[in-house]
Every structure is written in structure tokens, then in C-alpha cells.
């Protein structure tokens, strides 16, 4: 390209018009700036309406001055009035010359409301104002035109505490790096899921101690884990937890402000000129690797990631962010608009690349989600063709064809994942359809004999979640409309015949072959598309089934939410979205059950009181004593604990303050419990009307609590959130809420509403079908 005919690039990487350089072209005048002036109303600096002339050539300024003088001469001089000027009386019906419009008033109200919000809330509004589905798409193959961010936030360096562990009963001197490694193990709960389970504890300790010995070095005195005593460090850590609880409200606010400063610096990116929230901007700190289930590498030491290991991805026009760790620099700077990642590095446990990306509510994730659900909707027009094909091939004489057909049936009807080969020394032994072994299937598990066609499937699925279901392949649901369930049972029986327990059921196919086979039916078809289709279709069908009920219109919004959750649970069971019941869940269920029993007893007492009043006898009716004295005692305890926190300087004083705070909280809980026990009573004898109204109120409370308890108990082992976040098209849920006047807040949390903001505009009659694929 010649020097006289150059192309210029703007910040958006777009080519500007060519500009000749022949020496004769006049300079293009710069756009005039606005003069900053102070607004008397809000005290903020704004641009003045008039232009100012800092960048205007002197010749133009002179011409401008002459023009102004000519205009002023043409104007008629104002009349001069002699004598005192009479002031006009202000009257109420005098209207201003230029009345303010409603739009201006609304704008000013909105601006004042925005000024009351904190910085994070204003940023949230700014992000919500960007409607990515209405914006111009970046060039084909690119995810963005410009991207700018601040890099990754690194954890603070380790500060040694100086507490010594014991080896063979004696104190051991450790370097800061060795002490940090010892502290990682001491921080683990001995009764927790990793060390509390003998099976996982063995794997954890073996891996941890192997890495700990590497940190210690060959010449160190520590050689045998059984002689190691981490208890002194564990006691110190528990003590530090108690001390941290003694922080004052001011310190808590200061800590929050510090976290916010980090968030404001690293938690946001500017993509194509708009603000986006960053997901995982905090680098993972070093520690022990936990893993899921019986991961073979649990317990290994995760190393600290240095900035030199991190590569950043941003546009060429963006400033490279300064590294936050003094004396260090970024490993590499990339300018790849094809990638969605902002930063990448490799972790030492599995030697896999990890990425810093935008948050779940970002435009990147939104586009990906919409595309995923639209692809699943496209399966609606292809599903019958696919089912017809695999039903035909289930009886094929060719082993590979028969196994492919059976695998597709399993993926379609049982929603299993494809599964792949795993190195069990590197990864947990999780299983999918293609990796099923004979040992995972048990024919006729109940020993019924005869024509029984049940198979018990039991294996570890994704994230080491146990899949344990007994499938009756002879059931109507698998055989109606030529479902071929019985034929699939016979195929499984033939695939397992004369095989050892550790041999694969589908030995003639593999995941690659299966995925290639799926793509012959529809471009981009995979097992995940099947799962998304089945999850969305099941939710829609279940909801329509409930809505068709004769009593549906009489249900309250809360009752309709319960029916929605029932439909959601059917999807979660289909996709095997399980979760383990925690101790906290069990405790919460017991507490709700206890409260429910109390409410029922109180309602019974109220009915007895009403019966007594109706008989004309008001003597001996129970009344409630005042709780003022107890409430004052609680308030004193709270204030005392607060003063102790504020005055605490030493660790001993902080521990004492924390203990006082715990006692005050317990007193508060005791007061709340006593109030609840007497909540149905009055301080004086009630009237009949008061009793009737309270009985009605208690009936409503009991019904609501029974509904909550049933919902929590039914779903304690089922993860409703997983299918809601990843598999069920959100537009189905939004349309359901609009049709039935159910607040969307009852179905989607704020996080999900932000994530699925693109789905909120659908009509009440929207349906999940092949037409959806044409929408975007």
C-alpha cells in the first residue's frame, strides 16, 4: 500500500474512508468540544450547551467575532424607562413561559433515583440496558470486535503463623512453604466427606503425603504419615475462626469495601463498547485438590499460579492491564477475537487448561444458550425420523448396527450420556452409555423369574453421581406406539452373554462412531441435544397436563408453583440430577416438622377455646404473658457483646467477645421460640370473632407449611436447579408464568432472571417446537 493512499483503522477494527496525502488537502477541523460547567441542581460537572473555541484556528475566531459585532448592531436597543420600576405581583394563575414536559420530569426523577444507588447497582443497570439480541453481530467467526479487561486477581502471599506440627511426639521446624503445605491438611475436617469416609480418606492421605514429602525434601526428618500430628495447627486455625467472628460492624463493612474494590477492578470487562460482568476473576488459591466422588487424585497439592503462567486475550487497541503482583508480568498477550476467554493458564493436577470467562448473564453465554435450545427445538421435526430408523435397526443382524440402534434408544428414552474411555489413574471411573460394563447391569434384580424384563442399572455418572434405577423394559411406557422396550431388553441380554463383569456391553461401537451416526440424522446432533430436547419436551408436556386439569383455574399462584416443581422433578429424575442430603437439610426438615406439629396443636387449643366461649364460659382461658422483660435481657446481651467486640484488642478478648455474641444469639433464638409457642394466644381473653379469625389464619399457615415441607422432602435428593439452568428451555417457564399469572420470581431466582433475560419477552402461548429454531 503506498504512502499516499493509506487505509486507517478505528477502535472497532473497521476500515475508514481512504485519505489522500498530496499536501493540498485542507485539514479537517476537529469537532468542537463542550465546555464543562457546574450544574447548580446536582452539583455535578456537565458539558455546556455552547461550544468553546480552544481548538479553533485564530483566523476563524476573528471572523466569528466580527460576525457577532455585526449582529449586535442590527438589534434594536432596549427601551430605557425612567423612574422607579414597579414590581409585578405574583399571582397563582401566572403560568411559566416554557412548561416542563412530563418526559423531562421523568428523566430528572430517574436520574435522582440512579444517584441513590451504589456503584455495583448502577453497573448492574448499565449491563441490563444492553440487549444483545437486538445488537449488530460481530464478523463471522468472531466473538467480539473489541475487548478490554483488567486481567486476573491473585490471592495474597502466604503469611507464616509459626505454629509447629509434631512428628513422633516432637515439634518440627518447617520453612514457610512447608508450613503452608502442612496447614492445607490441618484445614481439612477430620469428620468431613474426604477424611471422614475410610474409602476416600485412604486415597486422600496417600496423594497428600506423597506431595508433602516432595515439598519437605529427601533429607527431612518426616518419613511416615502415621507419626505426623497436625492437631496444633488445626487448633490454631479453629481459634482464628473464632477470632474472625469478633469483627465489628465497621470492620465487616471495611472488608466488604475491600472486596468491592477488587470486584470493580477485575470483575467487569468492556466488550464492543458495553459493560459485561466477569465470572471467575479470582485466581484459585493453592490448597489440597478435593475432586468429586472417589477421584483418584484427591489430596494432591494444588500449586500457586504465577502471573507468568497466565495468558490474556484482549483487542489490539486495548491497553494491557498492569499485573497486580509486584515484580511479576503476564506470560503472554493474545489478540484472538475467535475465542470467548479472557485469560487462560494450566493447572498442575490434571495439566488441563483453565479459563477466565464472562459471567453466566453475559451476552456470550446468552447467545450460546439460545443457540443450544433452538438446536434442541429443531429435533422436534426430526425425532420421528430418528426413532423410525433405530426401531428398524434394533433387529438388525449386523452387530454394530444393532448396538448403535440400542445405544440411540438408551440415549433417547433413558437420557444417558454417551460416555467415553477413561484413564482411571487420572480421572474418576464415571460411566455413560458406550462405557457401560456387564457389572453395571443386573437382570431380574428381584428374582421374580418368568417373563420379567427388569434391569437394574447402577454406576457412577457425571461428577461421580450415582445412577441407580431399575428399568422395566416390559412396561407400557417403553412399548406403546411400537416403543420396542422388550426388544431392547433382549438386545442387552445378547450383548452381555458370555462376557466377564469388567467387559464392555457395547464392544462394537465407541463414542466417536456413535456421534458420527447421530450427525447423519441432523447437523450438530449429539447426546446433549437429546437430553436438552427430552428435558424441555417433558417439562412442557407435564405443565400442559397439569393446566388441563379441571381444578387448575381454582389453584392459587403458590399451588401452581408446586405443580411446576413437580414437573421440574420429573425432568430431574429423567436426567439423573441427584444430590446428597446434607446434615443442614436434615436439620431444617426436622425444624419445619416440629413447627408444623406446634401449629396444629395451637389450632386445636384455639378450637377448644372457641367451644368454651360458645358455651358461655370464659373462665380459665389461657392468656399470654408479656415478653418485654425477656426482650430487654436479650437486648442487653446483644449490646454487651457489641461493646466487647469494639473494645477487643487481644486474641483472648476477641475470643471472649465471640463467646458473648454466641450466647446473645442463643438468647435471641430462645426468645423467638417462646414467642412462637405462645403466638396463638392474647394478653387478655379474646372475643369469639378474634378466635374465628385466628383459627382461619392458623389453617392457612398449616396448609402453607405442609406444602413447603412436602416440597422440600420430595426434592431433598433431587437437584431441580441443574435441569433448570442447563436443560429446560427457559422460554417454557416464562410462558407458563405469563399464562397463569405466576410471578417469575417464584420460578427463577435473580441470577437466573439475569442469565435468561433474552427469554423474558416471549408470549404466553409460546411453545417449544421446530418453529423456535427459525427465531434466531
653-687: pLDDT as tens digits: 999 999 999 999 999 999 999 999 999 999 899 99
Helix axes 730-740, 557-574, angle to 10 degrees: 160
* pLDDT tops 70 at residue 364: yes
Q: Which of 290-294, 316-320, 382-386, 757-761 has the lowest mean pLDDT?
A: 290-294
The fraction of the chain above a pLDDT of 90, given in percent, is 68
Is-contact 438 503, C-beta < 8 A? Answer: yes
pLDDT at 616: 86
Domain ranges of the chain: 365-538
Average pLDDT over residues 236-246: 93
Radius of gyration of the chain (CA): 35
Confidence of residue 9 (pLDDT cuts 50, 70, 90): very low
Helix axes 119-128, 249-266, angle to 10 degrees: 40
| Cα 348 to Cα 351: distance, rounded to the nearest angstrom | 5
Higher-pLDDT residue of 1, 432: 432
pLDDT at 69: 55
| Cα 157 to Cα 180: distance, rounded to the nearest angstrom | 10
Which of these is catalytic: 467, 478, 533, 727?
A: 727
Helix axes 730-740, 363-378, angle to 10 degrees: 90
pLDDT at 304: 96
The fraction of the chain above a pLDDT of 70, given in percent, is 86
* pLDDT tops 50 at residue 46: no
Higher-pLDDT residue of 95, 582: 582
Higher-pLDDT residue of 233, 67: 233
Confidence of residue 715 (pLDDT cuts 50, 70, 90): confident
* pLDDT tops 70 at residue 13: no
Average pLDDT over residues 478-488: 93
Average pLDDT over residues 414-420: 86
Q: Give the CA distances from residue 158 to residues 188, 190, 232, 235, 261, in Å, rounded to whole numbers and listed in that order.
A: 18, 23, 18, 19, 21
**Mean confidence (pLDDT) of the chain:** 86
Which residue do the cell numbers 485542507 mark?
Answer: 26
Q: Give how far the C-alpha of residue 333 lies from the chain's centroid of Cα atoms, to the nearest Å.
A: 29
Interval 21-43: pLDDT, tens? 444 444 444 444 444 444 444 44
| Cα 132 to Cα 362: distance, rounded to the nearest angstrom | 9
Higher-pLDDT residue of 422, 655: 655
Confidence of residue 92 (pLDDT cuts 50, 70, 90): very low
Is 0.85 topped by the overall pTM? no
Average pLDDT over residues 541-547: 96
* pLDDT tops 70 at residue 77: no
pLDDT at 228: 97
125 in active site: no
| Cα 69 to Cα 65: distance, rounded to the nearest angstrom | 6
Task: Name residue 437's beta-bridge partners.
Answer: 504
What CATH fold (topology level) applies to the domain 365-538?
Answer: Topoisomerase I; Chain A, domain 3 (3.90.15)
* pLDDT tops 50 at residue 180: yes
Q: Give how far the C-alpha of residue 739 lies from the chain's centroid of Cα atoms, to the nearest Å.
A: 27
Confidence of residue 101 (pLDDT cuts 50, 70, 90): low
pLDDT at 30: 44
Amino acid at each position: 500500500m503506498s504512502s499516499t493512499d493509506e487505509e486507517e483503522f478505528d477502535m472497532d477494527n473497521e476500515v475508514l474512508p481512504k485519505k489522500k496525502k498530496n499536501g493540498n488537502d485542507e485539514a479537517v477541523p476537529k469537532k468542537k468540544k463542550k465546555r464543562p460547567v457546574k450544574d447548580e441542581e446536582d452539583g455535578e460537572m456537565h458539558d455546556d450547551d455552547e461550544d468553546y473555541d480552544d481548538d479553533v484556528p485564530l483566523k476563524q475566531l476573528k471572523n466569528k467575532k466580527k460576525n457577532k459585532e455585526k449582529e449586535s448592531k442590527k438589534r434594536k436597543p432596549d427601551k430605557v424607562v425612567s423612574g422607579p420600576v414597579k414590581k409585578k405581583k405574583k399571582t397563582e394563575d401566572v403560568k411559566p413561559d416554557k412548561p416542563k414536559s412530563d418526559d423531562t420530569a421523568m428523566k430528572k426523577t430517574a436520574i435522582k433515583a440512579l444517584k441513590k444507588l451504589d456503584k455495583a447497582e448502577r453497573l448492574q443497570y448499565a449491563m441490563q440496558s444492553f440487549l444483545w439480541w437486538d445488537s449488530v453481530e460481530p464478523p463471522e467467526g468472531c466473538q467480539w470486535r473489541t475487548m478490554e479487561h483488567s486481567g486476573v486477581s491473585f490471592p495474597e502471599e502466604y503469611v507464616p503463623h509459626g505454629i509447629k506440627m509434631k512428628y513422633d511426639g516432637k515439634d518440627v521446624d518447617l520453612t514457610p512453604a512447608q508450613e503452608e503445605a502442612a496447614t492445607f491438611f490441618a484445614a481439612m475436617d477430620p469428620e468431613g466427606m474426604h477424611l471422614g469416609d475410610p474409602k476416600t480418606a485412604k486415597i486422600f492421605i496417600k496423594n497428600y503425603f506423597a506431595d508433602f514429602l516432595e515439598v519437605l525434601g529427601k533429607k527431612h526428618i518426616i518419613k511416615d504419615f502415621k507419626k505426623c500430628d497436625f492437631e496444633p495447627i488445626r487448633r490454631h486455625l479453629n481459634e482464628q475462626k473464632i477470632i474472625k467472628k469478633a469483627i465489628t460492624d465497621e470492620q465487616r463493612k471495611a472488608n466488604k469495601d475491600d472486596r468491592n474494590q477488587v470486584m470493580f477492578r477485575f470483575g467487569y470487562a468492556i466488550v464492543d463498547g458495553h459493560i459485561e460482568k466477569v465470572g471467575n476473576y479470582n485466581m484459585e488459591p493453592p490448597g489440597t485438590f478435593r475432586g468429586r466422588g472417589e477421584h483418584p487424585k484427591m489430596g494432591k497439592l494444588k500449586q500457586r499460579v504465577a502471573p507468568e503462567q497466565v495468558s490474556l486475550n484482549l483487542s489490539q487497541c486495548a491497553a494491557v492491564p498492569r499485573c497486580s503482583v509486584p515484580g511479576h508480568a503476564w506470560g503472554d498477550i493474545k489478540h484472538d477475537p475467535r475465542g470467548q476467554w479472557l485469560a487462560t493458564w494450566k493447572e498442575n493436577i490434571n495439566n488441563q487448561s483453565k479459563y477466565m470467562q464472562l459471567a453466566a448473564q453475559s451476552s456470550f453465554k446468552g447467545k450460546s444458550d439460545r443457540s443450544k435450545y433452538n438446536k434442541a427445538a429443531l429435533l422436534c421435526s426430526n425425532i420421528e425420523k430418528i426413532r423410525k430408523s433405530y426401531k428398524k435397526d434394533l433387529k438388525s443382524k449386523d452387530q454394530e448396527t444393532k448396538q448403535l440402534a440400542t445405544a440411540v434408544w438408551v440415549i433417547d428414552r433413558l437420557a444417558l450420556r454417551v460416555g467415553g474411555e477413561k484413564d482411571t489413574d487420572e480421572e474418576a471411573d464415571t460411566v455413560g452409555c458406550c462405557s457401560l460394563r456387564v457389572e453395571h447391569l443386573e437382570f431380574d434384580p428381584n428374582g421374580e423369574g418368568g417373563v420379567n424384563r427388569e434391569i437394574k442399572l447402577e454406576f457412577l455418572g457425571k461428577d461421580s453421581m450415582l445412577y441407580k434405577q431399575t428399568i422395566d423394559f416390559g412396561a407400557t411406557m417403553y412399548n406403546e406406539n411400537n416403543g420396542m422396550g422388550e426388544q431392547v431388553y433382549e438386545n442387552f441380554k445378547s450383548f452381555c452373554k458370555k462376557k466377564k463383569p469388567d467387559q464392555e456391553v457395547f464392544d462394537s461401537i465407541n463414542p466417536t462412531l456413535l456421534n458420527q451416526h447421530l450427525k447423519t440424522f441432523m447437523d450438530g446432533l449429539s447426546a446433549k441435544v437429546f437430553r436438552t430436547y427430552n428435558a424441555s419436551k417433558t417439562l412442557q408436556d407435564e405443565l400442559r397436563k397439569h393446566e388441563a386439569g379441571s381444578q387448575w383455574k381454582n389453584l392459587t399462584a403458590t399451588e401452581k408453583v408446586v405443580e411446576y416443581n413437580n414437573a421440574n422433578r420429573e425432568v430431574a429424575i429423567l436426567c439423573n440430577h441427584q444430590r446428597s442430603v446434607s446434615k443442614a437439610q436434615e436439620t431444617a426438615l426436622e425444624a419445619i416438622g416440629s413447627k408444623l406439629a406446634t401449629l396444629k396443636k395451637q389450632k386445636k387449643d384455639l378450637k377448644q377455646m372457641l367451644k368454651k366461649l360458645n358455651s358461655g364460659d370464659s373462665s380459665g382461658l389461657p392468656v399470654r404473658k408479656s415478653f418485654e422483660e425477656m426482650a430487654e435481657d436479650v437486648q442487653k446481651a446483644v449490646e454487651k457483646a457489641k461493646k466487647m467486640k469494639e473494645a477487643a484488642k487481644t486474641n483472648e478478648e476477641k475470643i471472649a467477645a465471640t463467646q458473648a455474641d454466641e450466647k446473645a444469639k442463643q438468647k435471641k433464638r430462645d426468645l423467638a421460640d417462646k414467642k412462637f409457642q405462645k403466638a396463638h394466644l392474647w394478653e387478655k381473653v379474646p372475643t369469639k370473632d378474634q378466635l374465628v379469625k385466628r383459627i382461619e389464619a392458623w389453617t392457612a399457615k398449616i396448609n402453607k407449611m405442609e406444602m413447603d415441607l412436602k416440597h422440600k422432602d420430595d426434592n431433598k435428593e433431587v437437584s431441580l436447579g441443574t435441569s433448570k439452568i442447563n436443560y429446560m428451555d427457559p422460554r417454557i417457564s416464562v410462558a407458563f408464568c405469563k399464562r397463569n399469572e405466576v410471578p417469575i420470581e417464584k420460578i427463577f431466582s435473580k441470577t437466573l432472571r439475569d442469565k435468561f433475560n433474552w427469554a423474558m419477552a416471549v408470549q404466553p402461548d409460546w411453545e417449544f417446537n421446530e418453529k423456535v429454531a427459525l427465531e434466531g
